[in-house]
Structure 1
Amino acid sequence: MPSIQSTSANVQSNQAYRVRGLVFTALFAALFIAFSSIQFPVWYTPVPITLQTLAVMLAGGLLGATYGFWSIALVIALAGTGLPLLHGNGGLSLLFGHTAGFIWMFPFAALLIGWVSDRLFRSTAQLNTRQFIMLLAAIIGFGVLLEYASGVPWLAYKFDLTIHKALIAGCYPFLPVDIVKSVVAAILIRKLRPYLPRLRPAAR
């Protein structure tokens, strides 16, 4: 039977993990906002190049599934209330605008990348080459292709385009840049995650 001191220590430890998780959630939410403000217009498409997908990848890979999801979802929810958090814009018009298909998928991309990252780092602090390739594949699959799978059809719907024209406007110009962002994210996650403080108690 656990002692009162042991129970109290466990409660304090759990509270410390929760506070730490909230702090990192807020930090990566701020990173997502900051990276969303860095954009480069492309003259023949209404969709700009931004660094927000890099923030999504890093949030999932470094924070894990739960906190990665909430760090992105929190910003989107607040932007929906009208706060200008996503490249200086907010409100329901943004969340149902031409880039909404990408925006709504961001938290789920972070969730899925985090799910893979959690499992890869569960048994080791340093990823080997095979594990790194698995991480990179997850980032490209969930952080790039999954977002195109939802973003491009929505773009086609909003502008009454064919899927081919929507791919030209919302995928092809961005794919090489997103692959580069995926590689950068995978390298940073591999290097930095072992040094981040644990956000959850070790599984027993």
Structure 2
Amino acid sequence: MLRLKTFQLLEERLRKRNLALKNMGEIRNLTLIDAIIPKIESKTLSLAKDIVLVLGFAILTGISAKLKIEIWPVPITMQTFVVLLAGALLGSKKGALSQITYLLIGMSGLPWFVRGGGIGYIMSPTFGYIIGFVFAAYSIGWLCERGFDRNLKTAILAMLIGNIILYIPGLFWLAKFIGFGKVLAVGFYPFILGDLLKFILAGVLLPLGWKVIKATKSE
């Protein structure tokens, strides 16, 4: 009898522990947008919400491409800031999907890349950066889904990692046009200060957003 009660007690503790871990995982998987917009039970409405968010960030990426300081071959734009936020706010899958949507619509002919659009843009020196947008948004989203956006240090670290990932395909593709000897001087060094300010700003805003939500819910 004593053994049975002990076993039942251990089983109950294990059940509660597993439930707590499950709830913790669900909380950590939330992004800031998930916390702001209540969960929609209807699958149709939930899908519509996701489409609006994905398309919305694709459009913002296109608009930010036109906010630029023109230098050749890679202009300075606000795109990287939008890409960072796309991953952080939408999460890994939807963040990456927003950038894939931006890429596909641009390649279909809409001139919302930095210098136009269309399938021929594959041969542009800056095309590699657009590929980098997809991987950067996914990686930042993955990190933020695991709680990296909850405090300043880890949020900035997530932005830094995403920024590095963005540059890898961008620089390799650019090197095909200007050579590896010049690629850092042309495609990386001019953007260090601007990118630093962008991912620090994003890193500051995300934890601040969580604090506001927490304060609002505690009232």
User: TM-score by structure 1 length?
Assistant: 0.77
Q: 1:193: Cα distance to partner?
A: 5.9
Distance 1:62 1:98, change over 3 A: same
User: How do 1:147-158 and structure 2 match up within 5 A?
Assistant: 147-158=166-177
Distance 1:191 1:27, change over 3 A: farther
Distance 1:86 1:195, change over 3 A: farther
Q: 1:93: Cα distance to partner?
A: 2.3
Q: 1:180: Cα distance to partner?
A: 0.8
Q: 1:188: Cα distance to partner?
A: 2.4
Corresponding residue to 1:127 among 121, 141, 150: 150
CA contact (8 A) 1:62 1:192 kept: no
Count of aligned pairs between the two proteins: 175
CA contact (8 A) 2:135 2:166 kept: no
Q: 1:192: Cα distance to partner?
A: 3.5
User: How do 1:79-118 and structure 2 match up within 5 A?
Assistant: 79-87=106-114, 89-118=116-145
Greater share of helix = 2
CA contact (8 A) 2:132 2:167 kept: no
What residue number does 1:4 align with? Answer: none
CA distance in 1: counterparts of 2:171 and 2:80, whole angstroms: 15
- Residue deviations 1:57-112, cap 9 Å, x none? 01000111111111111011111111112135101222331011111111111011
Percent of paired sites with the same residue: 31
Distance 1:180 1:65, change over 3 A: same
Distance 1:20 1:169, change over 3 A: same
User: How do 1:18-167 and structure 2 match up within 5 A?
Assistant: 18-42=47-71, 45-87=72-114, 89-120=116-147, 127-128=150-151, 132-142=152-162, 144-159=163-178, 161=179, 163-167=180-184
Distance 1:74 1:193, change over 3 A: farther
Q: 1:23: Cα distance to partner?
A: 1.4
- Residue deviations 1:111-137, cap 9 Å, x none? 11011111107xxxx823xxx312211
CA RMSD of aligned residues (A): 2.3
**Unmatched 5+ residue regions in structure 2?**
1-38, 214-219
CA distance in 2: counterparts of 1:54 and 1:171, whole angstroms: 16
CA contact (8 A) 2:135 2:165 kept: no
CA distance in 2: counterparts of 1:63 and 1:16, whole angstroms: 17
User: TM-score by structure 2 length?
Assistant: 0.72
**Greater RCO, CA 8 A, separation 6+:** 1
Q: Secondary structure at the match of 2:56?
A: helix
What residue number does 1:168 align with? Answer: 185
Distance 1:30 1:193, change over 3 A: farther
